[in-house]
Amino acid sequence: MTGAAPDRPARPEYGEYATPEEQRARIQQPDATHALSSGQSLDAPAPPAAPYGTASTTPPVLQPGAPAPVAPEASGPARPVRRPRTVDRIVTFALLGYGLFNVLTSIPAFTEYSTYANTLLEIMGVDAEFTGAGRGWGLAAAFVLGLGWLLTATLTWLNLRRGRITWWIPLVGGVVFTLTASALMMVPLFSDPAIWNALVGSVG
C-alpha cells in the first residue's frame, strides 16, 4: 500500500534541500546566500569595474573579518614652510633692547627738567640758565617715550608671530617717539625769552 507522497516545493526553500557543497558555500561566503536564492551561479564572474572617473553604483562586498574601507582624505595645495629669519630676529631684539635702555635712562632725566635743561644748554655752549617751570613738559615727554616703546614692542611681537619681517618696526617706532618726546622737551626752552635770545646770539 502506497501512501500519497507529500507535496514538495519545486525549489528548496531556506536551505532545506541544499547540497553539502551549497551549505559549505553559504557558510564560507555569507553573500552567496542571496545568489543561491535568486538562482545565480556561484561561479559567475564579478561585474566589470566602472571606468576611471565614473562613480560605481554597486556597493563593494566585504569579506568576513576584512577592515572597512577608509575614504581618502581631501588633499589641498601644500603650504610652503616658512623658514625662521634669524638675522631679522637678532636685529629686531637688538633694537628693542636699545630702545628700552634709552627709555629707562631718559625718563629720570625728563622728570628733573631744570637739571636736564641746564645740562643741555651747557653742552650747546649757551651762556644762559633755565629758571622757568618745565616739569609738566618733562613728565609728558617721559610718558610719550614709555608708551611708545610699549606700543612698538607689542606690534613687533604680533608681527613676529605671523612670521613677517619686523626689524623696521622698532627702528621706526624709536625714531618717531624719540623725536616726539624731544619736541615736548624743547617747548619750555624756546618759550623762555632769555634762553631764546642767548640761542640767537650764539648762532649770530
Half-sphere exposure of 181 (CA within 13 A, CB side): 26
**Residue 38 DSSP one-character state:** T
Which domain range does residue 193 map to?
86-203
90 grid coordinates: 637678532
CA dist., res. 64 & res. 43, Å (int) = 19
pLDDT at position 181 is: 95
Q: Which residue has the cell 608708551?
A: 147
CA distances from 203 to 45, 124, 199 (A): 108, 11, 6
Which phi and psi (to 5°) does residue 122 adopt? -65, -40
Residue type, 157: W
Half-sphere exposure for 132 (CA within 13 Å, toward CB):
18
Q: Is residue 161 domain-resident?
A: yes
Within a domain: residue 25? Answer: no
- Would 141 be classed as within a structural domain? yes
The tens place of each residue's pLDDT in the chain, 204 residues long, gives: 445 455 555 555 555 556 666 666 666 555 555 555 666 655 555 555 555 555 555 555 555 555 555 555 555 555 654 555 899 999 999 999 999 999 999 998 898 888 888 888 888 887 778 877 788 999 999 999 999 999 999 999 999 999 999 999 999 999 999 999 999 998 888 887 777 777 776 665
What pLDDT, on a 0 to 100 scale, did the predictor assign at position 155?
Answer: 96
Interior angle at CA 96, CA 95 and CA 102, nearest 5: 90
Q: Residue 114 and residue 194: Cα distance in Å, rounded? A: 15
Cell numbers at 183, concatenated: 619736541
Q: What is the pLDDT of residue 202?
A: 64
Asked whether residue 111 is assigned to any structural domain, the reply reads yes
pLDDT at 96 (0 to 100): 96
Do the domain assignments include residue 91? Answer: yes
Domain count, the chain: 1
Q: Is residue 188 part of a domain?
A: yes
User: Do 170 and 99 form a contact (C-beta atoms < 8 A)?
Assistant: yes
Looking at residue 7, its pLDDT comes to 56
Spatial separation of the C-alpha atoms in residues 203 and 183, rounded to whole Å: 20
Return all residues near 200 (Cβ < 8 A) that are at least 6 apart.
Answer: none
For residue 143, being part of any structural domain is answered with yes
What pLDDT, on the 0 to 100 scale, is given for residue 27? Answer: 63
The span from the CA of 185 to the CA of 179, in Å, is 10
Residue 100 lies in a domain: yes
Task: Tell me if 170 sits within 8 A of 156, measured CB to CB.
Answer: yes
Q: By the 8 A CB rule, do 47 and 40 touch?
A: no
**pLDDT reported for residue 125:** 81
What's residue 97's pLDDT? 96
